[in-house]
Structure 1
Amino acid sequence: MYAMLDPSRFTVFVTGATSGFGEAICRRFAAAGARIVACGRRADRLETLKAELGDRCHAFALDVRDAKAVHAAVAALPAPFDEIDVCVANAGLALGLEPAHQADFDEWQQMIETNCLGLAATVHAVLPGMVARGRGHVVTLGSIAGDHPYPGGNVYGATKAFVRLLAQNLRADLAGTGVRATNIEPGLAETEFSLVRFRGDAERAGGLYRGADPITAEDVAETVFWSTTMPAHLNIVRMEIMPTSQGFGPTVVKRRG
């Protein structure tokens, strides 16, 4: 029999730890006894999280769009937080829901820089150490938008397709190293995600979830926790999760007249 991995032995590095999925993931692993490395852009929220989780949490401000800062931060991690067992590349965002021809290009650029370049920098920074130690797990946060297009998804969906293919290509490169890679692909989930997407419009953001029983941040945290504690010989490559209320619609056909 293969044994489940013991999360109390993990050091878990989480980007985007100041809200939503990232914050819930930190709490879930901390509750199981893991050491947590939490980073994000909002220092005040990180201080609150560290105060909650205690000495087994190392927290610092980091914008993943700064690739040099990401690499420097990983290289400078103090013991006993310096040997990362699980990296959750969670930092990401959606901005706007306008059709492509009406979208703000600055928002497209921010999504690409955060969701693609920032995630790539995170993965690139942690992988050498994992491979050298012969163990580790990279978890990327994708979206069903990386597979299923919808009106207004345009560049956001494209960034999540990048995340999905990067995770799959990691599996091609990492086979035999002892390092695993998993892409978690949530559907409708209620966090600050839509509040950011709709530029602080709480009424519009709330309307998206009303009556839908959406996925929670804790649901996603539990999914990440399960996939990383499975026995070391098993790799959950990708997992698409949606609320029971969500499904797929027909292909849109616009007709003349």
Structure 2
Amino acid sequence: MSDNIDTRVTPSFHPETVQAIAEYDDDTSSILAGTVSAFTEAYIAVGRVHDASAASKTNPAWNEAAALIHTADFADKLTLQLAKRFDSATAGLSRVIEGLEAELSQPIEGQGVGAMAGEIRAFVRGMSDGERMGFIRKAIEAGDNRTVGACLGGPAYLSGLTPEMQTALLRVHHEKANPRAAKQLRAAKAGLELLGERGGLVFGEMEKAVGAKQAKVQKLRAAKAAAEKSFVV
């Protein structure tokens, strides 16, 4: 779509802003597909309202007020569709994030059994807090599953850890063991942030495309409705 730039529309809606997310690649494109679609639809919709505004001015049967009302009516319909699209994309990414968070936080109970595991826990428990965290982090980086399982696969206190420490280390372990899921989570969170930031721009961009503030359009609609009452039989 980079070859089809509409200078009337904010680049904040261009789908390539989603594809510019650092983690966007073959592993994450399917997760962000709904976000790309929402941005694409927004980019095209705002352009369509600009087109409608220009066309309304060429209708000899419409004065300026009528042209604004018809253009605003069209913009309102598209805005409603976009709101649903952004809500759907947001809900989809929220579900993805929830699933990945659970996957990257699951306990590894059962991996810390046996005499060797007990000796490892006793050894680690005898360290200072700083040494203990550093030792386990190094074991995670080295792929030393025996040490990691012993320290994180049982109750935290057996290794001298607090539950919070164990939770943090479990997350490091899972992200190391499953970098694809970790990348997908980062991408999903970045996409969700984009949706939140850019979704609110729809109303302002539609207003610009219509060519008048919403308050002015509402006054024109009210005046039109009042005038039309005189023609009711």
Answer yes or no: same fold by TM over 0.5: no
Q: Which has the higher helix share?
A: 2
Q: Which has the higher strand share?
A: 1
Higher RCO (CA-CA < 8 Å; seq separation 6+): 2
